[in-house]
Structure 1
Amino acid sequence: MPLSTVHLLRHGEVHNPDRVLYGRLPNFRLSELGREMAQRAADYFAQRAEDGAKISYLVASPLTRAQETAQPTAAALGLEIVTDERIIEAENHFEGLSDVKRHLRDPRHWRYLRNPMLPSWGEPYSGQVARVMEAVEDARRAAVERGGEGAEAVLVSHQLPIWVTRLAAEQRRLWHDPRRRQCTLTSVTSLKFDGERLVGVEYCEPSADLLPGAANIPGA
């Protein structure tokens, strides 16, 4: 069975001066720093290709920040961006609010906090894993059809869907503390496959030196 890799790339920093939990809201674009991060990601994948990686398929969430993050990689590798709704950000009851901690003290929201293991304030973690892994499998197959043995795909998505997919891949519980996610801006979580069998997970941060100056809202 052919070996292959699917890279889950988180988008870059978003222009969000009001620190809104933007979720699936439209038109939240990358900041200047976010565009620099997107170029760093493109440089990372271009170097992989120069070193012999066969990156043959590129997918992005439909949200603006993911599409903009994918553009430099598409240009560097000469790939079309395929849009896939299945790797979109998670649904969240608190979407559109700023200063979410303050809103958590409002009794009107308490019913959404009743089960953090689900979580009750948004899309179930298990549902996110299911839809992302469907997209991963389709991208893996498409990459192998185009690139053959060792082919790679890149999927530009969002922190929470990527993180819970990694937790599932590593057979860890999906419930977690959002502050402890290892999925920084334009980080790359790589799922390694032998045929259809997931055999490993790797992680790297092409924009590590840019992170100290970045705004980063945990999201869903």
Structure 2
Amino acid sequence: MSRVTIHLTRHGEVHNPEGILYGRIPGYGLSERGRAMAERLGGFYAEAGRDVRLLVSSPLQRAQETIAPIASALALEPRIDERVIEAGNAFEGMLVDRSSLSRPENLAKVYNPFRPSWGEAYTDQVKRMRAAMASLRVRLEARARADGGEPEGVIVSHQLPIWVTRRAAEGRPLWHDPRDRECALASVTSFTFESGTLVAVEYQDVCVDLQPNRAVPGA
């Protein structure tokens, strides 16, 4: 019986002085605090008793900058996987507030919060994230058969794809209030599988003392 764990890890804080919803826009890297978060994640995954063998990252800059200290600490080369990218969003590049959402040209985008109508469907996010996790799980199980142990893998991704994937795994509705997401910056949501079956989901806020005192847009 193979037992493997996949850690969905949110990237660290991004330098975003304009406060826009940056989504998939290129060029948004980590802030100074975000780099401190990434360094802590490197130490977290290098702790004694862990057996991290494979690393995967979203192609976005903030994710690659977050995984770099982890890769350095573990002497591993991360793979890029487009399937774990940030959710698509029609409000990308905007300062999102009540005023902007109430503009006539934007009202048609917010009519259905259950899909959601303003961006990539929650179900589509779950499908691609699960596919990426399945690919990584197969690779980890191959390592387990070859070398033994209970290998772990890390995927650095983004808040919404991680959160809806967790909700799906726990049998909860995918629609939700964004203010209720339990997926802090540089947090770790771990999925443990035995013989391909999910047996546990756990959450850790690794950087609880480094969290900003305000909501972070576009993360």
TM-score bucket of the superposed structures, by smaller chain:
over 0.9
The separation in 1 between residues aligned to 2:96 and 2:164, in whole angstroms, is 24
The aligned runs of 1:40-79 (5 Å cut-off) are 40-47=40-47, 50-51=48-49, 53-79=50-76
Specify the code of the residue in structure 2 equivalent to 1:176: H
Q: Cα distance, 1:215 vs. partner?
A: 5.8
Counterpart residue number, 1:152: 152
The separation in 1 between residues aligned to 2:3 and 2:55, in whole angstroms, is 18
User: Which residue, 105, 115, 122 being the options, matches 2:119?
Assistant: 122
| CA RMSD in angstroms, aligned pairs only | 1.3
Specify the code of the residue in structure 2 equivalent to 1:76: A
Counterpart residue number, 2:93: 96
The separation in 2 between residues aligned to 1:215 and 1:109, in whole angstroms, is 22
Residue 186 (1) aligns with residue 186 (2): yes
Specify the code of the residue in structure 1 equivalent to 2:193: F
**5+ residue gaps, structure 2:** none
**5+ residue gaps, structure 1:** none
The aligned runs of 1:1-220 (5 Å cut-off) are 1-47=1-47, 50-51=48-49, 53-147=50-144, 148-213=148-213, 216-217=216-217, 219=219
Count of residue pairs the alignment pairs up: 216
Give me the identity figure in percent. 50
The separation in 1 between residues aligned to 2:169 and 2:189, in whole angstroms, is 11
Specify the code of the residue in structure 2 equivalent to 1:145: A
- TM-score normalised to the size of structure 1? 0.95
- TM-score normalised to the size of structure 2? 0.95
Check whether the contact 1:144–1:152 (CA below 8 A) recurs between aligned residues. Answer: no
Give the SS at the match of 1:190. Answer: strand
The separation in 2 between residues aligned to 1:211 and 1:42, in whole angstroms, is 17
